[in-house]
Structure 1
């Protein structure tokens, strides 16, 4: 503490909140100033606290409103999901009850249903809500209208032989009323029911698909119009319905334990639709009403390819081609050998041609068969005809006189033409011992015929005045 006292001087005292000494006479004045400052400070602090309270209240209120909005949104969403789940579960429970009721009814009335289906259009008969309730299969309070406003139909499909084999397929399917249905509701109901349930979607309104693709039907197969969010139950798929025709259910996925579920027992009528994306077709035969189009792979056959019409193409390569009709090619037909039990026929001034040697046979008029390219004709055999006509006949058979030969042959010796007479080569001429292409005439003075070796002469009548003619021919 600062000592403000000096001796007996009492004019100075220390002020409580000051670090300096002031004359006491100024105490009152200073105290007043201090009080005013203190009061002013208090007033400022009061105003600050009041303003601060107002600001904090507004911020806190905004935070509370934001939290309430977020909580309300989450709560509404959560509540909506809860309500949807309850509706879905209610629809699933109802469908399970109906499925069980229809299954029990089908067991107890199998014969009647099978007979009715066998004579009904499309082999489909129906079971009414009254039938189920009167038989005690469904409670009187039960309804066939689900929480989405859709009404279920109960259909029983048989076949032409179902009256005998007693095989039927009960099916529960809703109508196309989707006014209260949201996308995905049908699938969620099917998921809650299990394997027997199915549904349609907006992408495939014409196809009822079983859960996990266990089964699939076209709605037209059951006489139902296409619509999204259809809910169905394949009662015949439920375990325990032994008499149902499970073999008629064609699975999309392979089941190694039940290969028969992937096997068709009847013809497939595609109704003008296509089969696409197939890897391989195998079978006994194929009957097409129009053209068969094949890509780069071509057509491969270990047997015969038979056509009653035309087989055409740029190239045909085969071990054997058999046709009861014509085979037409706008290009070439190439092969090792060609056989025919009838004619090889050509049109125009064409015929057979050797691609290698440039010759062949052809006809350019109605009289002559000609050698193409002025080629010569050669054969070690015989050429036979009524007449042989030419500019000249030349023999390349060397025939020395007196040599042996075959009758009728023509040869040459030097510059002479040799003929085979009685197995001996002889030259042509009129002298005795020679051969002439024709007989010769000798004129004598009497009617006695002359004698020449190898010739026989006969009197052929009078010659000039007193002479006689004798014709001599080779013996």
Structure 2
């Protein structure tokens, strides 16, 4: 290369290097702006989550917040309150990356004091630059995103709205974030808590919970997996395959087509255990029990015996076989020997305990000594001597060798 060309080459190289440096510097600036924008977007998402939690908290506690706020005096919601009530996770930080702390100021609507409105405002920490505030205000998705630039007024993204902080009793400074939760927004939050959701909402079991009775208007509830209830009232029939009850089942009456099985006792208060046809009570284990197969007799199932340490009492007792006693046979009613009786074969006793039997229509003693109440002798010559009333001594008897007739108690026992 000729010497007079070397200067031009150096100039070209220097210009190229300058262009490269300008491009690098410009690219670095763009990269820095990109990183900052991503950081501000992340901050906007955190603010949106916080504002959403505050919205849900207000909807859940709408009545309470109405009672604790006025049109000028706010009810203040903090991060700690949202964490303690489960609307924010326990790991949510109290401050953002710039050390600013978020709070919600809830007041009554001036035109309609029955409705609530709120402003979420950050305070303390390091102020954000205006560019960051404008970017974050546009990226906030809950409520109406905004920022505070003069320390007194909250301004919406794209300057779409402007509200004095004093209207909400809030205080902050320049370079801070603001989110407007309008009356309509909070009314919707209150309705969320009163609406029964068809699907599960993570972290919101209250949205699947009823707080009052449901009137189905005589319509059905179909395809229910399980019904868990404290009580149930039915005006019609309850149909099912099986039923398990840990407490009592009460009703005016019950009809069962097949069997009723109880693990304990079956009791009737002032009622009967009623069976029909030729059925009664049966002990399944031992095969005994009682039943009636006609209108006269209560019968023992399988001809089982009846055993008791007490008494068996009845008008009459009949044994078709032998009658056994392990002790004594006690006859309480007495009879009088010689008195009439019926039928023959009866067994009784007199007042001394002597056994009597009914023979030929008369009570007679069984065995033992003969008791004479009247003795009559007829001898030759028709002379008669009588011994009356059981006399043994002093009875005047004529010496007779042979009597024609002898009567004892009116019964002829000898004739010549």
Length-normalised TM-score, structure 1: 0.35
Higher relative contact order structure (alpha carbons within 8 Å, sequence separation ≥ 6): 2
Length-normalised TM-score, structure 2: 0.40
